[in-house]
Amino acid sequence: MDLLEYQGKQFFSRYALPVSQGFVAHGVPEAREIADRLGYPVVVKAQVHIGGRGKAGGIRLAGDAGEVETAADSILGMDIGGHTVGCVLVEEAARIAAEYYASFTLDRSAGRYLGMLSARGGVDIEAVAESDPGSIARIWVDPVESLGDAAARTWVRAARLDETAADELVEVLLQLYEAFVDGDADLVEINPLILTTEGRVRVLDAKVTLDDNSVFRHPEYRAYDATQPRDEREASAHALGLQYVGLDGTVGVIANGAGLAMSTVDVVAQAGGAAANFLDIGGGADVETMAAALRVINNDPAVKAIFINIFGGIVQGEVVAQGILDALDRVELRAPIVLRLDGTNADQGRAMVAPRLSEMLMMAGSMSGGAARAVEIAGSA
């Protein structure tokens, strides 16, 4: 779950991180009212789930009310990397003496949290890592042991940050680590973390990705869901509780389990086709879930064939078969289905489906065979 900048700063504020004061505006008059209240100069910043806002003209400094109105009017509605700007953050401008980079993320291969810190903030960290990898100081933190003051202080020295601000930098890094762990985040990033001309450390930007599986611990995260970027297909699937990602192909994919769904997308590609989606119905395939899955894929005009790839482990083949048959009675298909059913009680399931086989419902004996048949149908449609 990716947060917009203003949401990320609200999140950081809960952990006492020093963010600039600012408010969100959805229109030009509101932007001016906020700026008048904050005092000038201010910065008007596009709120979108993508980087490169500055290069696209989505971040502007405004010294008076007229400049705020001009900036807000030009930024609102702007297209930045395929994302339309629906709101702007109006916040106090800062006088910058130095720009740093700081982040925590997961390093699954090491089984540790990875922190990155650099004196080269304000630019693309990937470019910095490629051109000057030595400028990034890395630290791996054992989740059991946590990050201590001494380790954070050593980290600041390794990154060659301003020694006069070391105490405040250490405090900010410890707060950022707390936000990362306590907030169940996959990523917390500040770029730039600035040192002001007054010698204070401030958070000038916020990039936060939260683990949406942690919502049961953080019910307030549900408010972020409405701002997640989804196309019409993804929004429809999400409303039905499906794990769905829209793609650009013509073969609709339904599978039970994320690993199998990803493999199915790959096998479709190996057969010479392209998947229209990734859709994981989870460990079960009851009638409600299957009907919802078919409804979403059936409403995608790009889909010319549907490949249902089910491997029964805990779920039994006859349960899957009954779910598919009942779902077919609820959904009027536009595209033919190729079904591969294997695993627990698969023979019983296939026997139940056999009387309904037709040009709109075909059985495949293998995953690769089913993918090839679906690609063939999609190509001839």
- As annotated, the active-site residues are 101, 189
Distances (CA, A) of 211 to 104, 107, 175: 14, 15, 19
Residue 164 DSSP class: G
Q: Which of 210, 239, 238 is nearest to 224 (CA)?
A: 210
Rounded-to-integer distance, Cα 100 and Cα 213, Å:
31
Q: Which of 300, 266, 304, 261 is nearest to 279 (CA)?
A: 261
Rounded-to-integer distance, Cα 364 and Cα 272, Å:
17
Q: Fill in the amino acid letter for 261.
A: A
Instruction: Show the DSSP H helices in 165-219 as ranges.
Output: 166-182
Distances (CA, A) of 95 to 103, 319, 378: 22, 64, 58
The helix/strand/coil state of 254 is strand
